[in-house]
Structure 1
Amino acid sequence: MPPRHATATTAAEEKPQRFVFVLLENFTLLSFASAIESLRIANRMADRRIYDWIVVGEGGETVPCSAGAQFKLDGDLGELGRDDTVMLCGGIDVQAATTKKVLSWLRREARKGLRVGGLCTAAYTMARAGLLDDKKATIHWENQDSFAEEFQDVTLTKSVFVVDGNRMTTAGGTSSIDLMLKLIADGHGEDLANLVADQLIYSSIRTDQDTQRLSVPTRIGVRHPKLSQVIQMMEQAIEEPISPSVLAKNVGMSTRQLERLFRRYLSRSPKRYYMELRLQKARNLLMQTDMSVINVALACGFASPSHFSKCYRAHYDTTPYRERGSHATRLSI
């Protein structure tokens, strides 16, 4: 019996599938490189060109990645073919990189029915263009809070990648590899996808059922089941914080036992740890959305803006208003 990828590719031998990589300003190099290298290696393993690609962007000349390196583009945002696959490559400050020109071009091309994907934070650009309405999607975990607040018509998941119809999104980093391996397997068979994974020294291929963040025990460096349960409950109830007594009761402990558990393993009280989680979300919302400070406070469980400002200043040594202002200044430089 011939290899699976050999039989699957016979129908596609005449014309390579073309990917159009759109580099947004300050895109993440790892996400882009992971995707394009997967295609290059697929061509090599198939011993013919099953994929083509071009790299474009606004202005058509050069664009910087988040590491500062400049990339020469093949061209501007132009007319695409109906069989092209668009891959938007996002990174830091994706809101600033999502310009009116990018959005109008993306909406126009998407009307042709072609596939559109967003790597790393580019799900934001897709959502702004209306391409993810009533779709499932994912985005880098650091941007999840702000995305969920801004795009309530999108079903946000914590998966490493999501394919919903002709829309694709990834969580960033090496998750581009997982998405590309799925596309390679769908188009040319799992044998070829496995060969590509081997070449990438990628020994654990993830699916859309895998989540992007480490488990709580791995993240905090502590394998205590009840502590992990409490932290998960905290992370899922930021807007309406749960009292330590209720948290303790939910895992079959007394409040005093819970207090000792946090002191022993995390060197802080449950209340302090919970506060840090809420303030971390608040900082993400301040820097990644245009939500008012009052709405940010409410979204993070603070009933009083003055109490929010006091807690924020104690933790970050600046006020929420100054944080928002200094971030806006950095974006305009």
Structure 2
Amino acid sequence: MSYTAAVEPLRAANVLSGRELYRWWHAVPGGGVVKASNGVSILADVEVGMAGAVADRVFVCAGGNPATFDDPALFAWLRDLARTGVTIGGISGGPYLLARAGLLAHRRCTLHWEHVPAFEERYPEIEVVRSLFEIQGDRVTCSGGIAALDLMLHLIERDHGAGLAAGVGDWFLHDQIREGLSPQRMDLRLRLGIRDPRLLRVLATMEANLELPLAREVLADQARLSVRQLERLFRSLLGTGLHRHYLDLRLDRAHRLRRESAMSASQIAAATGFASADELSRASRRRRLGARAPDISKGEAFR
């Protein structure tokens, strides 16, 4: 989706304008073809490192687990392109590779929310904004998915005017061009089907505090409820207890960090609020086996 949403607006701009406003080529690490996760293959037009590859902008589009990708030749080529004045962009997991190449130092960037936790752990000096896209001079980063369409519409407007950008958006039934600073993720109210403002405050607080989980009493204060009332609210509207939901959030974060980072087990445990790697392992195993989690309403451990 990220690749298609980036390329198709350029094709549409050419068709609607009746002129070749944009041309593009593909480069594949290692040459040959690159196969997307849906099985579609894309042929390389130029070789990585090719000196004659002329472009105004070069975008790195990456999915899967970009943290494990390592290609010194590609990184060197991107740095060479940047030195010649080419605007360098990253889409979805692409900004991860730009960071690996040293091209996001002292820059603000965005990338797909799924990659953010591992990225922030690995590159604490880079400011990450959870936006649709970020444009900082000759660096462009995009969170991927449909956000790539919004980015390209913005660039088409910058290059050739608002009328053409609106026409391209309309052609793709995209009736509103979103600003770059628009949030990536669906509002919690829509994502979870929850309307109760008290519970929404607590859920947002939980998601923002996974490394140092907050006590039940602190969360209850957020909702202006007693702990017992908050527990009832969780079970009534989410069908699970407060502790179970908080634990699942932390375990989901740990799973993403294991998949997308080179962090050690103990580092992942610390980043997700567990006292040790063993404690994290036990909690993960209990969830896999469907075992009962500690019940804090009965005085069991809450961490």
With the length of structure 1 as denominator, give the TM-score of the two structures: 0.84
Per the alignment, in what secondary structure is the counterpart of residue 47 of structure 2?
coil
Which residue identity is paired with 2:126?
Answer: V
1:133 matched residue in structure 2: 105
Per the alignment, in what secondary structure is the counterpart of residue 54 of structure 1?
coil
Per the alignment, in what secondary structure is the counterpart of residue 198 of structure 1?
helix
1:37 matched residue in structure 2: 8
CA–CA distance in structure 1, aligned partners of residues 228 and 67 of structure 2: 45
Does structure 1 residue 115 correspond to structure 2 residue 120? no
1:267 deviates by: 1.1
Equivalent runs, 1:3-22 vs 2, <5 Å: none
1:122 deviates by: 0.5
2:116 matched residue in structure 1: 144
Which residue identity is paired with 1:282?
Answer: A
Which residue identity is paired with 2:105?
Answer: D
2:221 matched residue in structure 1: 249
1:284 matched residue in structure 2: 256
1:224 deviates by: 1.0
Per the alignment, in what secondary structure is the counterpart of residue 162 of structure 1?
strand
Aligned with residue 193 of structure 1, among 146, 157, 165 = 165
1:305 deviates by: 2.6
Per the alignment, in what secondary structure is the counterpart of residue 59 of structure 2?
strand
Q: Is the 8 A contact 2:6 2:152 kept in 1?
A: yes
Does structure 1 residue 269 correspond to structure 2 residue 241? yes
Q: Is the 8 A contact 2:46 2:53 kept in 1?
A: no
2:194 matched residue in structure 1: 222
Which residue identity is paired with 2:249?
Answer: L
Q: Is the 8 A contact 1:61 1:75 kept in 2?
A: no
Does structure 1 residue 47 correspond to structure 2 residue 15? no
- Alpha-carbon RMSD across the aligned residues, in angstroms, is 1.5
1:316 deviates by: 3.0
1:181 matched residue in structure 2: 153
Which residue identity is paired with 2:139?
Answer: R
1:165-216 CA distance string (max 9 Å, x none):
1111111111111110110111111111000101111112111120110011
CA–CA distance in structure 2, aligned partners of residues 180 and 80 of structure 1: 25
1:154 matched residue in structure 2: 126
1:101 matched residue in structure 2: 73
1:317 deviates by: 4.5
CA–CA distance in structure 2, aligned partners of residues 119 and 98 of structure 1: 17
1:80 deviates by: 5.0
Per the alignment, in what secondary structure is the counterpart of residue 26 of structure 2?
strand
Does structure 1 residue 76 correspond to structure 2 residue 47? yes
CA–CA distance in structure 2, aligned partners of residues 295 and 289 of structure 1: 11
1:322 matched residue in structure 2: none
With the length of structure 2 as denominator, give the TM-score of the two structures: 0.92
2:294 matched residue in structure 1: none
1:218 deviates by: 0.9
Does structure 1 residue 88 correspond to structure 2 residue 55? no
Gapped runs of 5+ residues in structure 2? 291-303
CA–CA distance in structure 2, aligned partners of residues 90 and 38 of structure 1: 19
Per the alignment, in what secondary structure is the counterpart of residue 263 of structure 1?
helix
1:261 deviates by: 0.3
The percentage of aligned residue pairs carrying the same residue is 36
1:269 deviates by: 1.0
Gapped runs of 5+ residues in structure 1? 1-29, 319-333
1:282 deviates by: 0.5
Equivalent runs, 1:166-177 vs 2, <5 Å: 166-177=138-149
Which residue identity is paired with 1:177?
Answer: L
1:8 matched residue in structure 2: none
Which residue identity is paired with 2:178?
Answer: R
Which residue identity is paired with 2:91?
Answer: L
CA–CA distance in structure 2, aligned partners of residues 84 and 292 of structure 1: 40
Q: What is the number of equivalent residue pairs in this alignment?
A: 289
Which residue identity is paired with 1:107?
Answer: R
1:83 deviates by: 5.3
1:82 deviates by: 6.9
CA–CA distance in structure 1, aligned partners of residues 240 and 139 of structure 2: 43
